[in-house]
Amino acid sequence: MSHFLDALRRRAGAILVAVALLALSLPVIAQIGDTSYRLRDAEQESRARDIGKELRCLVCQNQSIEDSDASLARDLRRIVREQVEQGASNEQVMRFVHERYGDFVLLRPPFKWSTLLLWATPALALLGGVFAIWRARRRANATGIGPLELTEAERKRLADLQGDPRA
């Protein structure tokens, strides 16, 4: 163990330098990939990014189009930005994509009859739990402890054990 610590101490300088270099390189890593589509207007770009984060990449499926490097995701990113640049609202852009790819493209599923169970599951689980607790408590109250009054025989036995002074 001390051997390991010694080695660490000896190399502390090198490790520090490596960490510093890594920290410097992080922004570079973040910029890898196609950036040509980015909008010059920072506000529009952030709006486009917000929209893109709500849209599923249909090729990789568990990534949003903002996170995915698939060529379809790139095309959709471009389309979102073009529409934002032309002044479309978030809803209009979402509708454009939704009309073509259906509910599946929305990372947040819409609330409707076919998704009712999906949305209601947490509430149903909670209700089920509350019901189970309520039933268990009621049963415990009804049968758990039993009558609190001692019977005549029990009273007598207790008195014998205690050596009732009246006896």
Judged by the rule CB under 8 A, the positions of this chain that interact with other proteins are 58-59, 61, 71-72, 75-76, 79, 98-102, 104-105, 143, 146-147
> Taking the CB of residue 31, how many other CB atoms lie within 10 A of it?
8
Closer to other proteins by CB, 8 or 125: give it: 125
Closer to other proteins by CB, 72 or 94: give it: 72
Quote the DSSP letter at residue 150. P
Q: Rounded to the nearest whole angstrom, what is the least distance from the CB of residue 79 to other proteins in the complex?
A: 7
Q: Are 70 and 59 in contact, with CB atoms under 8 Å apart? A: yes
Q: Rounded to the nearest whole angstrom, what is the least distance from the CB of residue 23 to other proteins in the complex?
A: 38
Closer to other proteins by CB, 39 or 58: give it: 58
Q: Rounded to the nearest whole angstrom, what is the least distance from the CB of residue 146 to other proteins in the complex?
A: 5
Q: Are 159 and 167 in contact, with CB atoms under 8 Å apart? A: yes
Evaluate the CA torsion angle 53, 55, 61, 66 in order and state its sign. negative
